[in-house]
Structure formats: structure tokens, C-alpha cells
Structure 1
Amino acid sequence: MKRQILGLVRRTLLTVLPARSVDLSRLDRIPEHLSWPLRRDGFDPDPRLASTRASEPVHRLGSLLGIDIWLVTGEEAGRQTLTEQDAFSTDIRPYVGKRGAADGDIGGLGFTDPPDHTRLRRLITPEFTMRRLQRIQPSLDRIIAGQLDEIEARARVHDVVDLVPAFAFPIPFLMICDLLGLPDRDRETFRELGHARFDVTSGGVGALGAISASREFLKEATARQRREPGPGLIGQIIREHGDEISDFDLAGLADGVFTGGMETSAGMLAMGTAVLLGHPTAWQQMAEDPDFVGPAVEELLRYLSVVQVAFPRFAKHDIVVGGQLVRTGDVVLVSLPGANRDPSFGAAPDSFDPTRTPASHLAFGHGIHRCVGAELARMELRAAYPALARRFPQMRLTDDDPGFLPSSLVYGVRQVLARPW
């Protein structure tokens, strides 16, 4: 009876006191008891994820500003959480004060619920079908070839090349700029906005400020293209849908493409190359066997899971997830590395095994918020890895410590030093 009364009081307070009174953007740091799931040991997740998954796949991490926060590490519970759109909201705006709600810094597909999410996704999904993506394959091949030339030129001068600035970063960056239709004059500004938004070492203030700057830049770019539509995705949506979409919503979609397609692919290209170079047989097969490429890429996506957590889910009503009662207003975080190392993926899930039978992993999320650019990312990885391996079959790492990024929402490395021949 006492528990029922407490639950009634809690739900009443959530109704009477608006969520807007909780402002996550003012946090100057994320407490350790909440941030440890973002930590890793090299390519591997924090060992605590495995032990938590074994004992409690849905685990209460603790509370923050009066909100209970749950961590999901099991694959089955992860899929349930990401699929339950009627039970969860991803709209974070009520929780970030004026920075997100009044100023419009937060939005886009990831932080939008139906019906707005349905409307916006309908506008952008056709641009990421395989049929339309095939049109940019020549551009992708040209960009990759240019970076391979850059690697060779640097190696002839310095012998050892850092593959992050020469290969992993520029390929998705140039591809996204081409895809969005950003003119050359905007690209350097866009480049500078690429990293800070995923770093949570400074808490909500730093990350949200970086998102705000990125969104403002894209709103200005969208407004210019409203007057004179460019050849890329922004201009295409303006030509096809006109006033059906506002500059704010279109900038949000463009920002989502940037978020999902640049830093994530850069992390995959950098760390995936390092993993492959640590497996000489796989490196050779990547260069010689086209049938090897697809399954190996899927295994790298599962194994590395560069996106650390899915978009936060806010419980709209009480729901049982993985045997745990999640109450109205609670936040649920799905650890994608944790779920992707679940024993359901077969023997030795903590090992990279390119011969593993490909399974439906969660690297791109799941449900209505699954990454809309998943096929673009796959296309980049399937083209870039084998091209690099064919051009430099004798490439080898010269440093075993690539400088892994701490506490980043999108995992990555600072450098990948290699000798091409």
C-alpha cells in the first residue's frame, strides 16, 4: 500500500511540476556513476557492461536531478526499448531549458516524436534508398581515390602516415558535404564543428553549445539555399517540398545527416582499419575477396559499435522492460556496445570474427529512430576498406596505442599511425 501511495505521489508531481524545470544543459559534468558506460578498454566496452548484462540486463544506474536513469545492456531488452514508440519519447527539449526548447537548439529526427517524426522522416528517407545512393557512388569512389593518393604522397615524405586526417575523417566529411550540397566556402566552418558535440567530458553545457553552433550554421546554409537551391540534399528537398518544410526543420534534418554520417563513419573507418590491420588474414581477404567484404563490415559494425548509446528514451507511462518496472518520467539508455556483445550473437561475442554469420545488430539503432543513413555508411565502409587494402597490401600499424577518446558519445581514436609499405 505504501509503495502504491508513493507511486501516486510521484506521478502527481510529474504532472504538476513540468519536466521543463529539469535543465540537463546546465550540468557542468556527468557524474561517474552515470558516465562509466561510455568508457572503454581499447576496442572493448567497459567490463562492467558484461557483468551488468549477465546479472541485470536492465539496470538502474542511479538518478540525476531527481530523474531515475536505467541502463539496458541486453540485446532483447534493447530491441524492446527501441521499438516501444508508444511507451517512450525521445523529445529531450523539455529537459534542456531555454537552450533547447525556446531557442530551437534541439530537434531533428532523433529528438522528435510522431507525428512530427513521421512527417520529417518521410521527406528524407527517399534520399537514402539504395537506388538514389547509387547515383553518388562515382563521387564516393573519386573521394576515396583522392585520399589514397594523399596517403601515398604523405608516406613518400614522412614514411609513417596518420590515417585519421588522411583517410578516416576526410572521406565521410567530403561525402556529407557533397550530399548536403554545401559550397566550398562553408566546408571549413563545418569541419570545425565536427567533434565537440559528441564530447561529454564537460557535461551538458559543452555538448549542447556545440550542437547549437552546428544547428545555427546549418540554418543559415538552409536559408541561403531557400533563395537559390543547390545540387545536394538540402536543395533537393526545397525543390520537391518547398514550404511544406520550414528552414528550422530542414536544418534539423541536415544536422541529423551530419551527426549520423560524419563522426560515426570516421570512427568506423579509423578503428575498423586498425582492427583489420591487426588481423593480417582479414586484411588480405579484404583486398582479394569481394564476398568477404560485406560480412566483415557487418562484424566490424557489431564489434566496434561506435555509437555508445541510443537516443535517450523518456518513459511516457509505467512499463516493464527486461523484468524491471520503469516508471513514468524515468530515462532509459540503451548501451549499443553492451547489446551488441550479447551472447546471443554466438561464440566469443567479445572477439572480432569476420567469419561470424551476420546477424541483425544494433549498431545503427532499431525501430523508428534507426539511423536513416545506415545504407550510406555501409556503402562508404564497403568501398573504403577494400580500396585501402588493395592499394597498400603491405600496410602495417606502427603504434598500438591510437589514443582512444574518453567519454565520447561517438567512440573514436585520435590517430592511427601506419606504414603503407
Structure 2
Amino acid sequence: MSNTYYLEESSFERAPACPFDPAPEITALRAEQPIARLAVPDGAPGVWLVTGYGLVRQVLADPRFSSRYETQYHPVLGGHLPPAPAGDLTGMDAPQHTRLRKLLAGKFTVRRMNLLTERVTEITRERLDAMERQGPPADLVEVFAQPVPALMICELLGVPYEDRERFQTQTRSIADAGEPEAQYAAFIELGEYLRDLGLAKRAEPTDDLLSDLATGGDLTDEELGGVAAFLLGAGLDTTANMLALGTFALLRNPAQLAALRNDPGLAAGAVEELLRYLSIAAVGLRGVLEDVELAGRRLKAGDTVIIAVNAANRDPAKFSDPDLLDVRRSAAGHLAFGHGVHQCLGQQLARVEMRAAFPALLTRFPTLRLAVPAEEVPLRTDPSLIYGVHSLPVTWDRR
């Protein structure tokens, strides 16, 4: 294989016949060059692709690889990215990232998130009741996968009940990549709403996360609104797509679905395996801050590293039979939530939601199945998006 890999946007697209697997080109590259120099369409130098599990983990943990957007060249967009807006922890390094993460870390402990299990269970049951009343067929994204995390974000941020329908309408518009103008308008409107809500919490705090941040930290008004928007983005689209795509994967693997339905005690392990197997946050970027050697390759300050998390989570050097979905597997060590100081803050909440949602869905609708051929399920193929499905038409037998 050549020392240089020629990158096209389609290089990251999953094959339609294997919608849960990394792109075949990326998988082949991992076997021969777990770190490879890329030749990008506009000829920009210094772009690398890391696909091996050990190397991805190493890059994510090394502060010489920056999360700041302005240090990163985006090969698909063909240029460097603008700096992160206020409150966007994903695009920050220390000390800014350290300061904001410290404010948030105590709000997302395992204990605190487990205390939310009862409310997650209630919301899940309410959405399943609504799904049953509506009757088959249904779009699982619209009736279940998207509302469950949206309503939990409302709970966390303290969105007033009278605003929650509007809130959900806006979040649905943001998730609809097929309507970019409406998507952008909803994003701006929701950002303004969250900023105003944060200011209201400063004046009259209530018992919620946003009030805690408004009154217990040193956030500016702009940072407070930005952190709220960050929490929304981090906790909504990811979990919604995991619920929908995870259900799709289980429906395509009936033995695994039956195992989870018949033994809800498998839920915790099954969630970790689905996170590993699907890797919906498939790729990430890091900017190289100083010259560094990685697996015998010399990276220079100013270079960009593309991290293929989905390939790393299917690396046979870490996981046996990695292309098989096995809900009884121990998927400990997967990188679906990242690694190092930027590991996902909301991972415990996501786990609580999925551990409640998957068994409840499969138990309530034991005959759940696709309402269209699998190849007709519309996938989110844009590599800049969280991977998932635009919709998941399902049906079941009425009781």
C-alpha cells in the first residue's frame, strides 16, 4: 500500500448493505496503516488519519493534540474551522476547558444520574403509551427515540412545562438535516431561548442544572447560554440516534434482540456493546500543537489528525470478532464516549436513558419489526453529522 492515502468524502460513508459497519476503505487501511498520511482534494499538507485502537486512545489522551477548532483543518469543508463559541467545551483546551468542565463535572456523577432513573422510566413509559395509542406503523425516531432524550434535557435544564412542546418542535427541526434553512432558524431561536432561560434562572433559580450553573459558578451570561446549548447538543442528537440506530441494529440481529428482550438484566452490557458496535460519533479532529512522533511517523506542529473512532472500536487487536454484535460481550474500554480529559460529560445520563429505553421498548412491543425493507431505511450519510437514521418506520401486532 502507498504511504499516502487519497481521501474523498465518500471514504467515510458506510456501505448501504452494511449500514452499521465502518467504511470498507477505513477498515482496510486500519489493517495496513493504522496511521496514514492523507492526500486531500485541495492538496493541503499535514493531514493524518488514525484508525488503530491504541493510537486513537493515545491521541485522545495527549495534550499535544488540540481540541481547539481553529487548530484543525477540516478535509471535507476544505479549510480551518472557526474558534468554538462560548460554552462549547468540545472545542476548548486547558485552562478554559478545565474551568468549565470542573463546573459541570459534579452535576453529572454516576450517583446523580442514577437518581434520574425513576424519571427516565416514567418518560419512557409515557412515550411508549403514546406510541401504543397511535398504533402501527410509526416512525420510531419521531414517537420515541427523539422525545425521550429531549424531555430529559428539559428536566435537567429546568425548561418550564408550558415551553416544552415548543422546545421539542425546535429540537426536531434542528435534527432534520433535510431542511437546512429551517434547521438553522430553529438553532438560532433555541439558542436565544436558552440564553434567556439562563438569565431568568439567575433572577429566580429553581431546582435544576441550569439554575445551579447560573447561581453557583462564575459563568458570564454568554457562557451560561453557550453551556446550555452545548448540553443540549451533546445530550440530544447522540442519544436519539443511539436509540433509533440501536433498535435498527437489534431488529437486524434477531437473536441479539431476543436475548435482550428475554433477559433485561443484559441491558447495561448491551448498551455498551451497541455503543461500541455503532460508534455514531464516528470521527473527530485534533490539531497538532508541536512536532510529535506517533507510531514511527513524524507529525509537525500545524498538522491535523482525523480520528476514526468507529474503526478503533472495531479493531481486532482490542475486541475479538469485532464486527459481530454480541449483547453478552464485555465491551469495556470502547471509545464511543471518547477518552481523556474530553471524555463525554453526559455519558452516565446517556447510559441511564438507554438502559431504561431499550428493554422497555422490546418488552412493550415483542413483535416490533421494520415496516419497510431494511435497505429503504434512510441513513444519515453526511460524515459531519452524528451517524444514525432520519426515520425508522416500524410496526407491530396489536394486542
TM-score, scaled to structure 1: 0.82
Task: Tell whether 2:49 aligns with 1:71.
Answer: yes
From 284, 305, 315, the counterpart of 1:342: 315
Number of paired residues?
379
1:329 partner SS: coil
Q: Which residue of 2 aligns with 1:113?
A: 93
Deviates more, 1:371-380 or 1:251-260: 251-260
From 21, 24, 33, the counterpart of 1:56: 33
Instruction: Could you tell me which runs of 5 or more consecutive residues in structure 2 were left unpaired when the two chains were aligned.
Output: 1-5, 74-78
* Pairwise CA distance, 1:93: 4.3
- CA 1:366 to 1:206, structure 2 compared with 1: closer, same or farther past 3 Å? farther
From 366, 369, 372, the counterpart of 1:396: 369
Q: Letter of the aligned partner of 1:223 in structure 2?
A: L
Matches within 5 A, 1:169-188: 169-183=146-160, 184-185=162-163, 188=166
- CA 1:224 to 1:198, structure 2 compared with 1: closer, same or farther past 3 Å? same
Q: Which residue of 2 aligns with 1:29?
A: none
Taking the aligned partners of 1:164 and 1:200, their CA distance within structure 2 comes to 15
2:153–2:232 contact (8 Å) kept in structure 1: yes
Q: Letter of the aligned partner of 2:338 in structure 1?
A: G
1:195–1:263 contact (8 Å) kept in structure 2: no
Taking the aligned partners of 1:81 and 1:213, their CA distance within structure 2 comes to 36
Task: Tell whether 2:324 aligns with 1:351.
Answer: yes
* Pairwise CA distance, 1:319: 0.9
* Pairwise CA distance, 1:268: 0.5
2:150–2:171 contact (8 Å) kept in structure 1: no
Taking the aligned partners of 2:234 and 2:31, their CA distance within structure 1 comes to 30
* Pairwise CA distance, 1:107: 4.6
Taking the aligned partners of 2:355 and 2:109, their CA distance within structure 1 comes to 16
- Which 4+ residue blocks in structure 1 deviate beyond 3 angstroms? 63-67, 93-101, 104-107, 193-202, 205-217
From 221, 225, 233, the counterpart of 2:197: 221
Give the alignment's Cα RMSD to 1 decimal: 3.0
Residue deviations 1:79-121, cap 9 Å, x none? 0100001x122112477999955xx736521111111111111
Which structure shows the higher helix fraction?
A: 1
Q: Which residue of 2 aligns with 1:248?
A: 222
- CA 1:190 to 1:62, structure 2 compared with 1: closer, same or farther past 3 Å? farther
* Pairwise CA distance, 1:354: 1.8
Taking the aligned partners of 1:166 and 1:173, their CA distance within structure 2 comes to 12
Taking the aligned partners of 1:295 and 1:49, their CA distance within structure 2 comes to 27
Task: Tell whether 2:111 aligns with 1:135.
Answer: no
1:336–1:363 contact (8 Å) kept in structure 2: yes
Identical pairs, percent: 35
Taking the aligned partners of 1:132 and 1:404, their CA distance within structure 2 comes to 34
1:37–1:335 contact (8 Å) kept in structure 2: no
Matches within 5 A, 1:5-404: 33-41=7-15, 42-63=19-40, 66=44, 68-85=46-63, 87-93=64-70, 100-101=82-83, 105=85, 107-155=87-135, 159-183=136-160, 184-185=162-163, 188-189=166-167, 191-193=169-171, 196=174, 215-241=191-217, 244-310=218-284, 312-399=285-372, 400=374, 401-404=376-379
Taking the aligned partners of 2:296 and 2:107, their CA distance within structure 1 comes to 39
- CA 1:417 to 1:273, structure 2 compared with 1: closer, same or farther past 3 Å? same
Taking the aligned partners of 2:363 and 2:154, their CA distance within structure 1 comes to 26
* Pairwise CA distance, 1:207: 9.6
